[in-house]
Amino acid sequence: MANSTATTAQSGPPSSVAGNVKPALMQLEEIELSFGGLTALNRVSLDIRSGEILGIIGPNGAGKTSLLNVINGVYRPQKGRILFQGQDRTNYRPHQVAAQGVARTFQNVGLFKGMTTLDNLLAGRKSFIHTNFFLQALYWGPALKTEVAQREKVEQIIDFLEIQAIRNTPVGTLPYGLQKRVELGRALAAEPKLLLLDEPMAGMNLEEKEDMSRFILDANEELGYTIALIEHDMGVVMDICDRIVVLDYGSKIAEGTPDEIRNNPDVIRAYLGTDEN
């Protein structure tokens, strides 16, 4: 859905009042994060807007993963505010952020490697399983209904991601590209309001990247997920993102549509000009 309603957000009015711009689902305000003397994030402000695919790019060590870790409560910023659906939740812990509807994948796959694809996806639905322990043990009424509902949802995801053939395979034995796909499935199983993807295409060949791009686009366009993703492959980022934020040495140096970012001299200098890609 690239280039749909995206506009430059560097100096415009707040997104909620700006014409055709979608409202902010998540707002980061002046986030500062440091480790000892090292500043990982330097007064970073950005919005993730409902329904968009936001790309977060920047050279190695720019602070991209740190930003996701701040968003999902793994790191606590020293300064700044985080709003989710307008509510301040700056100091939420990871389980609280997850309970609010934020799911993520990791730069290095974060699955249960000894478990099958199916069980990993079912694990992604654990927040939906609230039935009484005794009923579950006896496998009666509500427990059975819940179990059936979880399995149905997981089956939909298996179909969506076209991973029927590996449903009973322990994920640790799968090629890396498929592990990344299962990890996306586990995040989707949580039916999040916001999906955070840390380098979903890393280590993939061209065909696997094309597949993954399609699944991410479909998750956005067909299933309606709001997505923020970190990715080093410029072709992919420019192709699938509505807007892009660029970090360099912990600071946001640009924000805009793929075309604006492509032609931004600061970005070219800081990132596209390097021979990283």
Ligand X SMILES: Nc1ncnc2c1ncn2[C@@H]1O[C@H](COP(=O)(O)OP(=O)(O)OP(=O)(O)O)[C@@H](O)[C@H]1O
Residue ranges that bind ligand X, judged by CB under 6 A: 35, 38, 40, 58, 60-66, 107
Closest CA to 109 of 244, 8, 235, 200: 200
Residue 170 site contact among Mg ion, ligand X, none (CB < 5 to 8 Å, cut-off depends on kind)? none
Question: For residue 39, what are the CA distances in angstroms to 58, 124, 271?
Answer: 15, 33, 19
Q: Of 107 and 116, which has the nearer Cβ to ligand X?
A: 107
Contact residues toward Mg ion (CB under 5 A) are 64-65, 107
The least distance separating ligand X from the CB of residue 65, rounded to whole angstroms, comes to: 3
Beta carbon nearer to Mg ion, 194 or 229: 229
Cβ nearer to ligand X, comparing 42 with 169: 42
Residues 94/120, Cβ–Cβ less than 8 Å: no
Answer yes or no: are the C-beta atoms of 217 and 242 closer than 8 Å: no
Q: How far is the CB of 248 from ligand X (least distance, A)?
A: 9
Rounded CA gap, 95 and 102, in Å?
A: 10
Cα–Cα distance, 226 to 274 (Å, whole number): 30
Please state the closest distance from residue 110 (CB atom) to ligand X, in A.
14
Query: Among Mg ion, ligand X, none, what binds residue 179 when CB lies within 5 to 8 Å by partner kind?
Result: none
Which residues partner with 41 through β-bridges?
Answer: 33
**222 token code pair:** 């067909």
Nearer to ligand X, 38 or 137 (CB): 38
